[in-house]
Amino acid sequence: RAKQGGRGNVRFFEPQMDLELQARKALEYDLRQALLKDELELHYQPLIDLEAQKVSAVEALLRWRHPSRGLVSPGEFIPLAEETGMIISIGEWVLRTACQQALSWPGLRVAVNLSPVQFRHRELVDTVKQVLEDTGLEPGRLELEITESVLINDTEAALDILSALKGIGVHIAMDDFGTGYSSLGYLNSFPFDKIKIDKSFVTTLEDKVKSLAIVRSVIGLSESLSMTTTAEGVETMEQAMLLLGEGCKQVQGYFFGRPVPALEMTAFLGNWQGFTVLKSLKTDAA
Ligand code: C2E
Ligand code: MG
Ligand code: MG
Ligand code: MG
């Protein structure tokens, strides 16, 4: 292979690390431009209250419309944004855009994901206050999603931040519950408004007895602590049925609606008729 043309030699002996580093640097360079070039966009996915059969919230999910790579998902650039600190400005943009957008969906709550890096940033609470003030969104209509990882290192500090956020009047949800270092102590020492059961449990609900047991106990636990439970990643009617039967309050997943741009979400909301399928299932179960 090294014989194929003189230029190939250099490439051939280049250590893999350098290539990875180059790719990373290129991505970093592009990401620095993304905000300025207006390449970031938010998609929204509905959260459905099973009991009322209505969409009560939407989760804002970040996308990067890269000029040559196409639509890049957050898993591919958020880690880099976190490592470089860019997540602070990107995160503020997300917050502002989501709150602004929520104004055109009266009565709906908007959920925004917070990176642990944002969570630890000393200006977080002020930023949230400022964005709410600037946009005029009622604080109760904003829900901030955090993961367990923000609680593990300095629980005291984390609880102070969470209390300050609660003081503003925003809702707090624990995202991806069950995947991290879940501690019941966290739930006890801080009253989250909502627990989102990670999709890994929902996906395996039908074939893993353990998943059902876990889902059942999380629902029971959050019920007794006066929190809402949302099941993430609901893709089939069977899963929705099971969750309904277990008393899960809220669901989110491709079965109900995929993340879509704001305009499409507006259309989705306008067309929403509830789920007759679920309605009849409920009467059957009763
Ligand atoms: P998440 O907050 O747990 O969001 C749910 C993820 O599951 C989303 O992936 C969503 O598209 C996907 N999902 C929803 N329903 C289904 C389903 O039925 N089946 C399957 N297989 N997947 C489903 P996405 O949009 O790729 O986001 C991945 C993660 O990136 C998010 O997980 C969140 O942790 C992070 N993220 C997204 N947007 C932001 C943001 O604005 N800021 C920060 N810091 N993180 C974000
Ligand atoms: Mg989330
Ligand atoms: Mg999640
Ligand atoms: Mg996640």
* Ligand 1: residue whose CA is nearest its atom 35: 74
Q: Which pLDDT score, from 0 to 100, does residue 189 have?
A: 81
92 lines ligand 1 (CB under 6 A): no
Distance 232 CA to ligand 4 centre (A): 10
Q: Which pLDDT score, from 0 to 100, does residue 8 have?
A: 46
ipTM: 0.98
Distance 174 CA to ligand 2 centre (A): 9
In angstroms, the CA 23 to CA 17 distance is: 10
Read off the amino acid at residue 169: G
Q: Which two tokens stand for residue 51?
A: 């009991």
Ligand 1 atom, smallest distance to 255 CA: 18
Neighbours of ion ligand 3 (CB under 5 A): 175-176, 232
Distance 250 CA to ligand 3 centre (A): 13
In angstroms, the CA 155 to CA 185 distance is: 10
Q: Which pLDDT score, from 0 to 100, does residue 246 have?
A: 95
Per-residue pLDDT of the chain (286 residues; tens, 9 = 90+): 344 444 544 555 566 778 888 888 999 999 999 999 999 999 999 999 998 889 999 999 999 999 999 999 999 999 999 999 999 999 999 999 999 999 999 999 999 999 999 999 999 999 999 999 999 999 999 999 999 888 887 888 999 999 999 999 999 999 999 887 777 777 888 879 999 999 999 999 988 889 999 999 999 999 999 999 999 999 999 999 999 999 999 999 999 999 999 999 999 999 998 876 665 555 555 5
Q: Ligand 1 pocket test: which of 35, 48, 61, 82 has the largest number of ligand atoms within 8 Å of its C-beta? A: 61
According to DSSP, residue 232 is labeled -
**H helices present in the chain, as ranges:** 8-13, 16-34, 74-84, 87-102, 116-120, 124-135, 149-152, 155-168, 184-189, 199-203, 209-224, 237-245, 262-271, 276-285
Distance 284 CA to ligand 4 centre (A): 34
Cα 19 to Cα 11, 66, 239: the distances in Å are 9, 20, 43
User: Within a 13 Å sphere around the CA of 185, how many CA atoms are in the beta-carbon half?
Assistant: 7
Q: Which pLDDT score, from 0 to 100, does residue 179 have?
A: 85
Q: What residues form DSSP beta bridges with 71?
A: 65
Q: Which pLDDT score, from 0 to 100, does residue 243 have?
A: 95
Pair 124, 154: CB distance under 8 Å: no
Cα 8–Cα 12–Cα 15 angle in degrees, nearest 5: 145
In angstroms, the CA 74 to CA 101 distance is: 20
> Collapsing DSSP states into helix, strand and coil, what is residue 111?
strand
